[in-house]
Structure 1
């Protein structure tokens, strides 16, 4: 069964239940109303003719003038109300002329004044028995009846009409529901056709949004947003792979070229040592790049668990500075600490150390010899901000949004003497996203760069 037919079928089941319930209610309401009206007329007739019953001692009979005056009791075909008087034992004492040789059946077990069904010459009638009393003493009963054939015919015809109408209405509803379902699932068909056309070579196509802003519009929009993310991720992955291949191929080519030069002819021992050391440094650089690539790949995995601790800002800074103390001494860089370095941040030490390591490492590498690096930590509203300011070359304004991309190095041709892979700030970005920390970079006039690491309090 297709999705369209399932929708129509489920709609039909629901509609059938509702229609059946409505039809049953209609049937019982009409039936009850017809019987109620008949009973009202019967009770009215019985009470009216109770006044025409004459009681003399132990004898009961009709006032002939009153009965004869009403033509309805002369013939059964006019308006079939039947009257009959019985004594307490059920013996017939008098009756209307339209009964002819027939008599109404007295039912002593039936409560007085209550209408009930009975039969007269094998035809259904509605009957009521009203006690006839004199001075509070029961003398007999007035039996009043009316034909039930017309009422039964009305109810029977109603039942027949409802039973015939029910399947016809359901059949009509099925085709209507199927048409509406077909019309409503067209956007789904469009989604299926579009997504079937999309492959890794064709990620630019998007699902056409429906005109009405309903759930299908939201679904189509969500699929398009998913495709956007997939396309961006695929393009980043492709670019990352190309860049990684280039970055790893370059040192390998250098190592290969150096070794090929060495084996062309015999050389002095010092020359061999120099070239081998150079190759080892290239291998170390390549190994560092591989480690960083693996680290970035690990960041992309879901369900990273954090072990947050309350850490003094000064300890985060000191650890990073200590690891680079040799380069700081070689370049004679002056580290200036400012403000409230006793401030504490609640974070994961492993990831925050990566952030501080790369930020301070960049500040040291790009600071000129004899330069100054200013570091300060302070609380601002509901945030704790650590700032690292260097007075190096800074970053081109147009490159500030790109430096977090893998392998990107701003103005790299002018910084050939500075070792770097272009992965450090990518690691900073990934780690900051995991921690919920914001990292901002901005040029620091007249020269240099200011890096801000913004931690939420608590």
Structure 2
């Protein structure tokens, strides 16, 4: 059977309460039971020891003193809870007994030496009995047995048991419905969260969960849900903007390519014109291919999040420099590589390669000919960091906050080097995937340094 959340809360509470109430009822019954028997035993002991003063021992004979007065007192007084007294000699033979026993006898246990209490019966009536030895000069002469009826006490215990047995399910059923009602009131904010989530879609991301009046756990949950919806709204806006920018970036080289080819076929051209147009078309095709590759990297980045195979820092950097060697050689750049014995430090191979490929590639692209490129590593208090510094044109301060945005390219970058504006965005997302951080220091005319903190 499938239970609702509020019913499960009520059921779990009921299960715990059942155990507690059962323990409480058993404890109450046990206390009353023990109290009844303790009081009965105390009264019996007093009566038994009181009657030892009314007993006379003559040789092997044991009998009551002034038994006639005792019989007369019993006829004269109505006893609510009569006490039965019986005298036995050391051989277990009946010597005397109280008149209210008539033709009956109390149960005698010869093996009991001290004043022990025990249950007995008389005419199907439950008795509580005590057996006390009678001694003269440390010699056992006999026993005095005293007993009282337990019927009234048993009736009290039975009524208590019935009362608890009847009230137990009533209490539990009442608690279930009370708890269910309270649980229903408590989860109303959760129902509101569910309704809000049901209304939320790409077209309706402005919905927010109303915050409860009390600042409790549900208030924190509602705040967290609203913060999540804020992030989703921001992410969808970013996705929409990214799609628009990607479409624009792909449309531009396509339009250029189409225009060049349309002009080419309007009339006959010379060999040189055909070659120039085809070369221009190939440049645009290369640009689209490069842009497609970078878009594919961004799309695959989430699926590669678990690809955390480790590789030495030195190997990753050397592989990146090797792939960029033709461009470095063409610009006659001097590469200063100093990893300060951190070459063996391991980093995630896939994401590390993405980061260094884009940061070092960016530095090579914007470095002037015959300049120096510095790649260094240093230990820090929390790990280590790598710096990639060039002597390029630098980045104005007002543009530094934007360079990690997808497709953003500063006017100076557009003039100095071709590109899609995705490289630093890819590096930033790769760093976030491995919980690294990229910082930037740059001044126009003095070059740029990127710092990668692991």
Q: Into which bin does the TM-score normalised by the smaller protein fall?
A: 0.7 to 0.9
Is the 2:354–2:427 contact (alpha carbons within 8 Å) kept by the matching residues of 1?
yes
Shift of 1:121: 4.1
- After superposition, the Cα gap between the structure-2 partners of 1:283 and 1:103, relative to the gap in structure 1 and judged at 3 Å, is same
Shift, 1:373, TM fit: 4.1
1:415-434 map, 5 Å: 415-416=414-415, 418-434=417-433
Q: Quote the Cα distance in structure 2 between the aligned partners of 1:2 and 1:378.
A: 58
- Aligned equivalents of 1:172 and 1:434: distance in 2? 54
The residue correspondences of 1:144-155 to structure 2 (distance < 5 A) are 144-155=146-157
Instruction: Look up the match of 1:359.
Output: 359
Distance 1:126-1:300 versus aligned 2 partners, 3 A rule? closer
Match of 1:443 in 2: 442
Determine the structure 2 residue equivalent to 1:105: 106
Residues 1:194 and 1:64: Cα distance change in structure 2 (over 3 Å) = same
CA contact (8 A) 1:74 1:97 kept: no
SS of equivalent residue, structure 2 residue 331:
helix
Match of 1:226 among 225, 228, 249: 228
- Bigger shift: 264-273 or 68-77? 68-77
2:198 corresponds to: 196
Closer, same or farther in 2 for the Cα pair 1:328/1:349, shift >3 Å? farther
Partner of 1:252: 254
Give TM-score scaled by structure 2 length: 0.86
Q: Retained in 2: the 8 A contact 1:408–1:422?
A: yes
Q: Could you report, residue by residue, the CA deviation over 1:344-395 in whole angstroms, capped at 9, with x for unpaired residues?
A: 3423566445444433443444455x67445253636443442413241x33
Matched positions, count: 446
- Structure 2 residue aligned with 1:296: 298
Deviation at 1:290, TM superposition (A): 0.7
- Distance, in Å, in 2 between the alignment partners of 1:337 and 1:137 is 115
Q: Distance in 1 between matches of 2:11 and 2:435?
A: 50
Give 5+ residue unaligned stretches, structure 2. none
Q: SS state of the match for residue 17, structure 1? A: helix
In structure 1, C-alpha distance between the alignment counterparts of 2:311 and 2:75, rounded to whole Å? 102
Residues 415 and 59 of structure 1, relative CA distance in 2, 3 Å threshold: closer
Which 10-residue stretch deviates more, 77-86 or 175-184? 77-86
Q: CA deviation at 1:74?
A: 6.0
Q: 1:323 aligns with which of 322, 326, 337?
A: 326
Note if contact 2:316-2:353 (Cα within 8 Å) is conserved in structure 1: no
| Distance in 1 between residues matched to 2:54 and 2:109, nearest whole Å | 22
Tell me whether 286-295 or 160-169 shows the greater mean CA deviation: 160-169
User: Which of structure 1's runs of 4+ aligned residues deviate more than 6 A?
Assistant: none
**Is residue 307–residue 350 contact of structure 2 (8 Å, CA) maintained in 1?**
no
Using a 3 Å threshold, how does the CA distance of structure 1 residues 450 and 43 change in structure 2: closer, same or farther? same
The equivalences for 1:397-412 within 5 A come to 397-411=397-411
Range moving further from structure 2, 49-58 or 113-122 = 113-122
Q: Could you say which residue in structure 2 is the equivalent of 1:453?
A: 451
Alpha-carbon distance, 1:189 to partner: 1.0
Cα distance in 1 for residues equivalent to 2:61 and 2:355: 119
Residue-by-residue CA offset, 1:182-208 (whole Å, 9 max, x unaligned): 121112112111111111212232333
Question: By how many angstroms is 1:309 displaced?
Answer: 0.8
1:132-151 mapped onto 2 (5 Å cutoff): 132-151=134-153
CA shift, 1:66, in A, is 10
User: TM-score normalized by structure 1?
Assistant: 0.86
- Structure-2 change in CA distance of 1:89 and 1:196 (3 Å): same
Q: RMSD over aligned Cα, in angstroms? A: 3.1
Residue 313 of structure 1: CA displacement?
9.8
2:311 corresponds in structure 1 to 308
Shift of 1:405: 1.3
The correspondence of residues 74-113 of structure 1 with structure 2, limited to 5 A, is 75=77, 77-88=79-90, 91-99=93-101, 101-108=102-109, 111-112=112-113, 113=115
Counterpart in the other structure of 1:286: 288
Partners of 1:247 and 1:309 in 2: how far apart?
Answer: 36
Kept after mapping to 2: 8 A contact 1:335/1:372? yes
Q: Secondary structure at the match of 1:390?
A: coil
Distance 1:69 1:103 in 2: 16
> What residue in structure 2 maps to residue 396 of structure 1?
396
Residues 359 and 451 in structure 1, CA contact (< 8 A), matched pair in contact too: no
Q: Deviations over 1:135-177 (max 9, x none)?
A: 4444433221222222122212222222222223223212221
CA contact (8 A) 2:6 2:187 kept: yes
| Cα distance between partner residues in 2 of 1:123 and 1:397 | 104
Q: CA deviation at 1:109?
A: 5.4
**Is the contact between residue 317 and residue 356 of structure 1 (CA under 8 Å) also seen in structure 2?**
yes
Give the match's secondary structure for 2:310.
coil
Tell whether 2:19 aligns with 1:17: yes
5 Å-filtered alignment, 1:378-393, equals 379=378, 381-382=380-381, 383-392=384-393
Give, in angstroms, the shift of residue 439 of structure 1.
Answer: 2.5
Specify which of 7, 22, 44 is matched with residue 5 of structure 1.
7
Q: 8 Å contact 2:367–2:390 — kept in the other structure?
A: no
